[in-house]
A and B are shown apart, each in its own frame.
Chain A
Amino acid sequence: MRYAVFLAAGVLLGAIIHIAVILALPALAAHTVWLRIAAIAPENKVVVLPTPAPGVANPLQLDPDLEYAVCRVNLAAGPGVISGTLPDAYWSLAIFDPSGTVIYSTTNRDGIGQNLSLGIFNPDQTHLLAEQRLDIADGLLIVESKDDDVFVVVRLAPAHEAVRARSEQALAKIACGNIKS
């Protein structure tokens, strides 16, 4: 009977350990997507990721059918802006915070077409924008981020293998940086 009480206490303690592990893992993980992107993408520079080759580890789990461009922005230096013209093919965009959470995503099927023009503002900058104390380009899609550190991922699906190189060039031409006030 006493032994069963110890086992039951062990199960209860195990449940507590389980909850602690689940809650602590995001803070303790050593190979987060933020660290992986920070290692390959300097701030304010668009980096086109290489297509994952067969047999080579693919920690970011990239889809070899797609082309990827990433850009890291620090909003402490001013609102972020990412702009460019992309080929007439399916593309999508996602903004990540340092925890790897997608704070915003969209696709060109949402009426954006081929033109990418996105502004990322922290709450203070959104406030300034509301007071019309920041000048921004017309048609800029505005997204608010609670964190100053963000990175943007543009995924492009080339219509054919033959246009893959052209798709890579289009992604490399995307402009990314801060709006100077």
Chain B
Amino acid sequence: MRFLIQLLSMVAVALVVGFGLSYYALTDGRLLGALKVGPWAAWPAVGSASPDPYTRAYLARTGALQLGQGEGLAFTAADDSDGHPLDRSCRYRIEGTTPVATFWTLQAVAADGSNIARPDGQLELRSSDIARANDGSLVLTVSKTLAPANWLEITGTGSFRLLLTFYDPSNLSGSGVAVQSLPAIHREACGA
């Protein structure tokens, strides 16, 4: 009987470690193969002709139309800069500078990838359409409540993710990934 319990414990540990580690590794790039910059994560080899095994598994799991290495790189954030999950009832201030790219877009999406912006409003923010400070830095607001300047209005309830996609960047693609910093995501008021 004792042997059976030990054997079952071993199998349980093996299943939890095996499948749990796989899920963890392929979610937001928490283990190998991913690039983390603050709350943002990307898979730099996702558009390469010879991706590593983790990136291959990620490609198969997502089934998405990825950007090639020559086209750009997409970052995703499920948490703010303090590690709290992004919640639609909160207002978020996204502040900082972005790497050089021909242009970038910022979208807010639900777990199934659907865009959660107000249907008759802007579906996303684009770098060419936003106001910046004199030093090139930017402040964006993602919220359900009215905000000045660069505002992405979202709808619904529950958690969400932010997608920041750089097109034709000068230093993100290829093997020499060199991202110094990406904008921070600060949570402001909640309860909207």
Contact = CB atoms under 8 A, between A and B. Distances in A.
Contacts of A21: 18-19, 22, 57
Contacts of A20: 18
Contacts of A59: 63-64, 112-113
Contact of B64 (A33, A54, A92): A33
Interface in A38-71: 52-65, 68
A91 B27 CA distance: 30
B123 A25 contact: no
B6 interface: yes
A68 B65 contact: yes
Nearest to B173: A105
A11 B71 contact: no
Interface residues of B, number: 61
A90 B103 CA distance: 9
B60 A100 contact: yes
Interface residues of A, number: 60
B115 A55 contact: yes
B192 interface: no
Contacts of A94: 47, 67-68, 70-71
Nearest to A92: B71
A96 B67 CA distance: 10
A10 B14 contact: yes
Contacts of B146: none
A162 interface: no
- Interface SS of chain A: helix, strand, loop or mixed? mixed
Contacts of B53: 22-23
B167 A17 contact: no
Nearest to A2: B6
Interface of B: 6-7, 9-19, 21-22, 25, 47-51, 53-54, 56-57, 59-72, 74, 102-103, 105, 107, 109, 112-119, 123-124, 126, 155, 163, 165, 167-168
Given A26-B60, A103-B49, 5 more contacts: A10-B12, A10-B17, A13-B18, A92-B70, A94-B47
13 contacts: A2-B6, A7-B9, A7-B10, A14-B18, A17-B15, A18-B22, A18-B25, A23-B53, A36-B63, A61-B65, A100-B59, A104-B49, A106-B71
